[in-house]
Structure 1
Amino acid sequence: MADWTFLTNHAHVLLCIAQDPGMRLRDVADAVGITERAAQRIVAELEQAGYLDRVRDGRRNRYRLNQELPLRHPLERDHAVGEILSVLTAEPKNAPGRSA
């Protein structure tokens, strides 16, 4: 049986950048489990679609997210990408091993 996840690599890359806007693409790729080239392609696609902007900070890139843009699938267009990011970057309320 093949491994699968609920989120795409695009969502994983966006989530990494939301958590650390200065994260190197090499580190994004390692976290997501993809090649650095794939991470570069995904960031370029997200940038072209307007979901993020690349800003030079010395020799490094920092990214600004446009959280107001709608999700792309017809079933999800009534929701902004920021809604997903806020859920996935929030501290879990009832994570296993934590007291409520």
Structure 2
Amino acid sequence: MRAEGLPGGSWTFLTSHARVLLALSRDPEVRLREVAETCLLTERTVQAIVADLEQEGYLTRVRRGRRNHYRISPGAQFRHPAEAGRDLAGLLALFTDDPPTTRTPQRN
């Protein structure tokens, strides 16, 4: 999939790995096909990303009947030295909580 649908250009602040991790944290039983649609990626790319995240300990995959259930490891540390010492919990809290509403004060 291409980034044609992105407003303002082809780059974004979050990586595909972060986007997939956040999608799985929002709905641990989501199908990877749906994650691919949400993240504007191919299903094969999402499968590879999930394998990366699982291999590095950022998530575990548990089979429940015919579906997978994904469990995120919020205490896992970021890999890059620029984020050394920080864990996923902060990122998850930032992007999975309901975003605050921005209201413009009404004048009487």
Quote the sequence identity (%).
47
Structure 1 residues 4-55: Cα deviation after superposition (integer angstroms, max 9, x where no partner): 1100000000000000000000000000000000000000000000000000
TM-score by length of 2: 0.84
Note the residue ranges of structure 2 that are not aligned, 5 or more in a row. 1-7
Question: Which residue of 1 is the match for residue 31 of structure 2?
Answer: 24
Please provide the CA RMSD for this pair.
1.7
Partner letter of residue 28 of structure 2? P
1:11 matched to 2:21? The reply is no
1:2: Cα distance to partner? 4.4
Structure with the greater alpha carbon radius of gyration? 2
Note the residue ranges of structure 1 that are not aligned, 5 or more in a row. none
Partner letter of residue 12 of structure 1? R
1:93 matched to 2:105? The reply is no
| Pairing of 1:62-77 with structure 2 (within 5 A) | 62-77=69-84
Q: How many Å separate the matches in 1 of 2:104 and 2:73?
A: 33
Partner letter of residue 87 of structure 1? L
- Residue 88 of structure 1 aligns to a residue in which SS? helix
Question: Which residue of 1 is the match for residue 53 of structure 2?
Answer: 46
